[in-house]
């Protein structure tokens, strides 16, 4: 989770919402991919940290599924990311802060609880939740005080 937090800080430094994710091979503990949000940088609404690490790991392995992998992320995945986790067959999901407004695991559509969800990773939330919440709150507080320049 520490590496996910490092990626979240790097995302904030790039002006992205500070969310970081790390995909780990369970058997070896090897990090397959680590990244933070890049939606602004890439002008891509799907460039969430979770999607980026899934794409990197599946490309590296040459396979569309990662059933032996665990994902660590600093914020509860949104519905898009939760669905991607299911499609990728991620084994376990560990996340820090809950997201009552935009989450898709414990909040909102609760993707893994839907009858149409064919794979449900084990999900563990609230890990170092306060730290993640403070990182997000500070990021948005700074944005309200000094909005970014128009491009």
CA distance 76 to 86: 14
Count of positions (residues) in the chain: 151
Specify the pairing of strand 20-25 against strand 31-36: antiparallel
The question of whether 50 is a catalytic residue gets the answer yes
**b/e string for 91-102 if b means 16 or more Cβ within 10 A?**
bebbbbbbbeee
Name the catalytic one among 16, 50, 76, 106: 50
- DSSP β-bridge partners for residue 100: none
Is the distance from CB of 75 to CB of 132 less than 8 angstroms? yes
Question: What sections of 14-128 are H helices per DSSP?
Answer: 39-42, 49-61, 79-88
CA distance 99 to 96: 10
Catalytic residues: 50
């Amino acid at each position: 989770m520490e590496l996910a937090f490092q990626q979240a800080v790097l995302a904030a430094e790039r002006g992205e919402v500070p969310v970081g994710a790390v995909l780990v091979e369970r058997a070896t503990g090897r990090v397959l991919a680590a990244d933070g949000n890049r939606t602004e940088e890439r002008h891509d609404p799907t460039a969430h940290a979770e999607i980026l690490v899934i794409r990197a790991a599946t490309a590296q392995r040459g396979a569309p599924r990662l059933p032996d992998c665990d994902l660590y992320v600093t914020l509860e995945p949104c519905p898009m990311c939760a669905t991607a986790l299911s499609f990728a067959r991620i084994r376990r999901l560990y996340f820090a802060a809950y997201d009552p407004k935009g989450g898709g695991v414990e909040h909102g559509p609760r993707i893994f609880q839907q009858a149409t969800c064919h794979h449900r990773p084990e999900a563990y939330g609230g890990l170092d939740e306060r730290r993640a919440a403070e990182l997000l709150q500070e990021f948005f507080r700074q944005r309200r005080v000094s909005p970014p320049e128009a491009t």
